[in-house]
Amino acid sequence: MRVIAKYAKDLKTHFEVVTIYDNNIIKEIVSKKNPKIKTLMIEHPCCIWFERKIKDDFGIEIEDAFDTRRIIHHERFPLNIYPMRKDFTKKDINFATFIPYNYETIDGDGVFEVSVGPIHAGIIEAGHFHFSQAGENILHQEIRHFYKYKGIEKMLEGKNIFEAKKIISRISANESIAYQIALRDIIIKATNITLPTSLKIEHAILLELERVIYHLTNLGFIPNDAGFASALSYCSKLSEDARRVMKKLTNHRFGFDSIEFNKLNFDIVYLKKFINELEKEMDFFEDWIMDIPSLWDRFDSTGILSKGNAQKYDCVGVVARASGIKIDRRDNKFYKDYGFEISIEKSGDVGARFKVRLNEIKNSIKMINNFIKDCKQNSLILKKGNIKDGEYFSFVESSIGEIFMTIEIKDNKIERFFVRDPSFINWQVMHLMMPNNIIADFPLINKSCDLSYAGNDL
């Protein structure tokens, strides 16, 4: 049984802790006078971050937990302030006394520590990576994020679902289309409307184009981190071409605010021309990149995540599929009818994650070509204000993996918003890929997973 998400809600008389499994939903009533829940950390290690976040957000203690450190609240965040409680309405807080964060480290003769981040030389967001080293060999790594915690869950409370759209669209730019489709599906459920097939096809095209853009980006950066810059140059050109197509179709390079309930002005001829050219480019790229032994010497057996560990941590997306786990939210009749084939590798290393991305681009090209054949004119105008109160869930397969979103609506306003980015799960398993590798391979392993900082640090 896979844990998908765990989160809390502040109700009038009590807290409610919700655990979403792949085949069940468990809701626990928690007293406000003595808020406590039993941990799931031992059975499901991915719950470590979920439960630490629940404690920071709501002040609910986690009994029998082996990790009770603060996760959202950094060193100078005041004690006893829980921002996700309904009675917390402050717009700012004062810094408190500095409380050091105790990193997980390994002691021993000749063992030393290396800190990377949270500020990096590259153009990436804040994240801290703490290593215990014996020479160049990594013994252990701890990842610490949430430096850019934006308070989006709190921000969306009290807004109507249409006011929230612009914010949700921008949670994580490399998954913007996926986030918008997750919101679209919730709106559909809350209004009991039926989405025309032609519109569903348009949205699917944009989702696959978004996947192509970011898989191409990574197919360039992964070899670059192994010292092969030519691949980065080649794939950067292709990903830029794909991003210009995204702008042509949606009026925005990232596709912000493009998943609407009315017909887009799709230039089918322009799209088909690009897809056909990309198919030829990918055939050349695959022949070229697969025949460089020195590159695959770096990829193969580097950053291994076993199938057992991937299952233990309830991994999703490319990370899971490269370790032999068959999991993809597109594995359904709609996508299969248009040529979807799940890509699985078994070795769980950098090479496997590279191959999954390569195969998924080729499959996305095939699906887009099939979608184009059925891309016909149709329209649907959704009137605002016809959203029904209730609790709604949605799932979408982004380029990184499964997004889970839930919105509770009360009196036509958002009562509780929660989203679990695939990165929130997969960041937690990266430390298992590090032992028996050298620290110089950390960027290579990290990039092969392509996890989002913004989607993680809500």
pLDDT tens-digit profile of 1-22?
999 999 999 999 999 999 999 9
* pLDDT band of 121, cuts 50, 70, 90: confident
Query: How many Å separate Cα 380 from the centre of its chain?
Result: 30
What's the mean pLDDT in 291-301? 96
Instruction: Render pLDDT for 377-434 as a digit per residue (tens, 0 to 9).
Output: 555 555 555 789 999 999 999 999 999 999 999 999 999 999 999 999 999 999 999 9
Nearest to 409 by CA among 390, 393, 422: 390
Please give the pLDDT value at position 383: 55
Mean pLDDT, range 292-306, rounded to an integer = 97
What are the pLDDT digits (tens) for 259-279? 988 777 788 899 999 999 999
Nearest CA to 420 out of 41, 16, 50, 37 is that of 50
CB 258 within 8 A of CB 264: yes
Instruction: Work out the angle between the directed axes of helices 268-289 and 197-224 (0-180°, nearest 10).
Output: 30
Q: What percent of the chain has pLDDT over 70?
A: 98
Instruction: Supply the pLDDT for residue 195.
Output: 86
CB 99 within 8 A of CB 81: no
Asked whether 183 and 405 are in contact (CB, 8 A), the reply is: yes
Global pTM value: 0.96
Q: Give domain 157-449's CATH architecture.
A: Orthogonal Bundle (1.10)
Residues 160, 384: Cα–Cα separation, whole Å: 10
Q: pLDDT above 90 covers what percent of the chain?
A: 89
The per-residue pLDDT for 380 is 55
**The predicted structure's pLDDT at residue 193:** 85
Q: What is the mean pLDDT of the chain?
A: 94
Rounded CA-CA distance 2/224 in Å is 35
With 60 as the cut, is the pLDDT of residue 130 above it? yes
More confident residue, 110 or 261: 110
Give dist(CA 451, CA 458) in Å, integer.
Answer: 14
Under 8 Å between Cβ of 215 and 208: no
Mean pLDDT of 219-242: 97
The SS3 call for residue 54 is helix
With cut-offs at 50, 70 and 90, classify the pLDDT of residue 213: very high
pLDDT of 295 reads 96
The predicted structure's pLDDT at residue 278:
98
pLDDT by residue (tens digit) across 74-98? 999 999 999 999 999 988 889 999 9
- Rounded distance between C-alpha atoms, residue 362 and residue 208, angstroms: 11
Higher pLDDT, 124 or 310: 310
According to the model, what pLDDT value does residue 381 have? 58
Averaged pLDDT for residues 176-197: 93
The pLDDT score that the predictor gives to residue 122 is 74
**Confidence bin at 104 (pLDDT 50/70/90):** very high
Domain ranges of the chain: 1-95, 157-449
Strand pairing of 111-116 and 128-134? antiparallel
Task: Please report the pLDDT score of residue 134 as a whole number.
Answer: 94
Parallel, antiparallel, or unpaired: how do β-strands 128-134 and 137-144 relate? antiparallel
